[in-house]
A and B are shown apart, each in its own frame.
Chain A
Amino acid sequence: MSTFFSQTNMLLMSVWSCFFGQDEEDGTEMGEGDEWMQGKTLIKPLDQLDLTEAELKEEFTRILTANNPHAPQNIVRYSFKERSYKPISSVDQLAVHFVLEGNLLHQDSDEARRQRAKQGLPEGGEDAGDVEEGGGEERADSVESKVGKKEQKITNQFNFSERASQTLNNPLRERGCQTEPPPRANFSATANQWEIYDVYLEVLQKQEKNKEKAKAVPKKDDDKGRELKTFLLFPPQSDDITKVAKVAKIIERMVNQNTFDDIAQDFKYFEDASDEYREQEGTLLPLWKFQYDKAKRLSVTALCWNESYKDLFAVGLGSYDFTKQGRGMLVFYSLKNSTFPEYIYPTTSGILCLDIHKHLPYLVAVGFYDGCVAVYNLKEETLQPIYKSTAKSGKHTDPVWQVKWQKDDMDNNHNFFSVSSDGRVVSWTLVKNELVFTDIIKLSLAGAVSEGPEGVQLPIMGKTSCGTSFDFHKQIDYLFLVGTEEGKIHKCSKAYSSQFLETYNAHNMAVDAVKWNHFHTKVFISCSSDWTVKIWDHTIKTPMFTFDLNASVGDVAWSPYSSTVFAAVTTDGKVHTFDLSINKYEAICQQPVVAKKKTKLTHIEFNPVYPIIIVGDDRGYVTSLKLSPNLRKKPKEKKGQELPKGPEVEIAKMEKLLSLLREPENSNA
């Protein structure tokens, strides 16, 4: 309180001194101390304005306001709401002339206490005195405050200290493990229609195998033995070469096709245009030549086309020479590959005849020079025949000259016939693993049995004539012809084993071939080493036609496409082709087909479909020739009429010829 008062005193004193100070300034013009009493006299300062009386009397109105003249009147503030500057409506008019910060402290405040503490106890004593005047209560307060100094901290919301506690955090430990990544492989494939098809096929096959296994389980014991054998025979194939067998074959054929391209083209397309100018004659165009190195010294003894695979034919190799008997060979060629045979079977004895089964193209019957007959299965892997006749099983004692397959017998066993020089015609039946033989007929000397002029009808025992060829009738199953070494042809039946139905005195020498006509059921042809070829009607004992070919005739064959066309081969290397509908007396083609004159042609066969013939010679060569159009003539009908096709035409053709012959005979007779 006292300090405050003293302070205001100080202030007042200073104000007064100022005021006096001013007066002292003015006082220079007045006397000292007199200024109070004297009135004011006006003294013009030097720079005072000179104004007229009127101007001096002019009244200037002055308004006193409470406004602060220094306050601005146009404060503008930016309003974010209106986004523009807006003048503030009311401006603060407060003018502060003087500010003085006070420095009084309340005695109970902290700062005051601190100051007292600095100044020491005497201040506190004065306070105590004051307090005594104040009263006992104040004393109590001060005592309390004294005690309060020796502190305890009072907890209040302003004096708060935070206390926290934390539980023990377990140290974190990272544990990882990694499994081995699953094995990966990149896979890519295309899904084509055929790949899907292949997969389906595989599944199907597996299913079938499973079914078979289920069936085969009871038959285990039987099969085990066989299976073992087959396993032994099939060692795991070596990596490369053996698997290429099939493709190598295909490639070989392709290469051959290229090499012999011109021949292949000729075979397919060439038709001799000059035949038009030649009237009746025709030619044979040489195509491929088939030869096998190892068969060079052997002669072709048999030829046979395969009925199912029309480009495949079989060649039997051996020797006709009695003195030069050795080994033989069965060789199969395909027209598609003329350089090398498809199948090769070497044999111990020369082959003399063979026949391929009409319906089973893999079964081949073979007759040997040593009298054996054998059956080969082309599907088998071995080089040995699947059946072979032995001395026990009724093999012939002389060379087998002809074999022919027959229709399956009543037990569905395959069977074939063979004819041999020992005079027996034997039927062989393939029964399971054996070859069962049945003598069909024994050829006895004709003079002994049939109408012998002597009248002695005793069959001369022991003398059998040698059969050299035979042929079965195409339609009449039991009827067959046998040609003999004496030159006779016997017509026989399978039913009668001792008698012939008919005998023809055909030739002067051995009958080399006898063949039924493919179309006409009555006609057959025969050829012999006596240089002649004869055509017969089996109802008539004399030949219809006789042709003299100037050389020993090795073989004769009817053509499969015409009933009047046939071809014969002679030992002078010529092929004679006849067409009876064109020329009844002469061949329409006589052509040498081998280079060296000394080669003898031994066999001839027509291909069932293609217009080619194969000719075998005694050097082991087989030559294929194409028949020119003149040789393949079909009867020309008048224009406008359709060409009737089929065997009837052929039969009719032949019949016409025969009727011409018969009439004069009848008329003569």
Chain B
Amino acid sequence: VTVLIHHCILYKKAEVEETLKRIQGQKGVQGIIIVNAEGIPIKTTLDNSSTVQYAGLIHQLVMKARSTVRDIDPQNDLTFLRVRSKKNEIMIAPDKDYFLIVIQNPSD
């Protein structure tokens, strides 16, 4: 299902901020990181060292995943990536210029 994006110039920024706040307030969410295309984190709710680590490692993973998907079919593209581990789940949603990482512990 394609997403109909509702843009409103007046409160676009506020809307996004609000969305991020809601995500942060969800049950079990440990942190949110926004990383730009070069792998540099531009916004985060975690501490600096963790952020840098996550950003660097996940950037490579996303590039690889995206490359894989697109190699198989260039008209296809990666929508999101979930990495579920024993302790938590890392959700990554890539965009053309940015990607968003959310770490959640769903059983909390």
* Residue positions of A touching B, CB distance < 8 A: 190, 192-194, 196-198, 233-235, 238-252, 254-256, 258-259, 261, 309, 311, 339-340, 342-343, 362, 378-379, 381-383
* Residue positions of B touching A, CB distance < 8 A: 1, 3-9, 12-13, 15-17, 19-20, 22-23, 26-29, 32, 34, 36, 42-43, 67, 70-71, 74-75, 79-80, 82, 89, 91, 93-95, 97-100, 102, 104, 106
Chain B residues closer than 8 Å to A238, beta-carbon distance: 13
A255–B26 CB distance below 8 A? yes
Q: Which of A190, A193, A309 contacts B1 (CB 8 A)?
A: A309
Q: Which of B3, B43, B74, B91 contacts A255 (CB 8 A)?
A: B91
Given contacts A194-B71, A240-B34, contact A311 B1 (CB under 8 A): yes
A244–B9 CB distance below 8 A? no
B26–A259 CB distance below 8 A? yes
CA distance A382 to B10 in the complex (A): 9
B12–A245 CB distance below 8 A? yes
Question: What 7 pairs across the A-B complex have the smallest Cβ distances?
Answer: A194-B70, A197-B74, A194-B74, A247-B93, A258-B106, A250-B93, A247-B95
A247–B4 CB distance below 8 A? no
Please name 13 further chain A to chain B contacts, defined as beta carbons within 8 Å, in addition to the given A240-B42, A244-B98, A248-B100, sorted by A numbering.
Answer: A193-B74, A241-B16, A241-B34, A245-B16, A247-B93, A249-B5, A250-B79, A251-B80, A251-B100, A252-B19, A255-B26, A258-B91, A259-B28
B12–A340 CB distance below 8 A? no
A244–B16 CB distance below 8 A? yes
CB of B4 to closest CB in A, whole Å? 6
B100–A247 CB distance below 8 A? yes
B71–A193 CB distance below 8 A? yes
B23–A342 CB distance below 8 A? no
Chain A residues closer than 8 Å to B27, beta-carbon distance: 259
CA distance A250 to B93 in the complex (A): 7
B91–A251 CB distance below 8 A? yes
CA distance A196 to B70 in the complex (A): 11
The residue in chain A whose Cβ has the minimal distance to the Cβ of B15 is: A245
CA distance A196 to B67 in the complex (A): 12
CA distance A249 to B36 in the complex (A): 17
Which has the most chain B C-beta neighbours within 10 Å: A238, A242, A248, A379?
A248
User: Can you list 18 A-B contacts with CB-CB less than 8 angstroms, sorted by A residue number?
Assistant: A192-B67, A198-B74, A235-B9, A241-B13, A241-B43, A245-B5, A246-B5, A247-B95, A247-B98, A249-B5, A250-B3, A255-B91, A258-B28, A309-B1, A340-B22, A342-B4, A343-B6, A382-B8
CB of A5 to closest CB in B, whole Å? 121
CB of A478 to closest CB in B, whole Å? 33
Chain B residues closer than 8 Å to A311, beta-carbon distance: 1
B23–A259 CB distance below 8 A? no
CA distance A245 to B12 in the complex (A): 8
CA distance A198 to B73 in the complex (A): 12
CA distance A250 to B7 in the complex (A): 15
Chain B residues closer than 8 Å to A254, beta-carbon distance: 80, 82, 91, 93, 102
Given contacts A247-B95, A258-B28, contact A378 B74 (CB under 8 A): no
Chain A residues closer than 8 Å to B104, beta-carbon distance: 255, 258-259
CA distance A261 to B17 in the complex (A): 25
CA distance A239 to B42 in the complex (A): 10
Which has the most chain A C-beta neighbours within 10 Å: B16, B79, B82, B95?
B16
CA distance A196 to B75 in the complex (A): 11
Given contacts A241-B16, A381-B9, contact A251 B98 (CB under 8 A): no
B102–A247 CB distance below 8 A? no
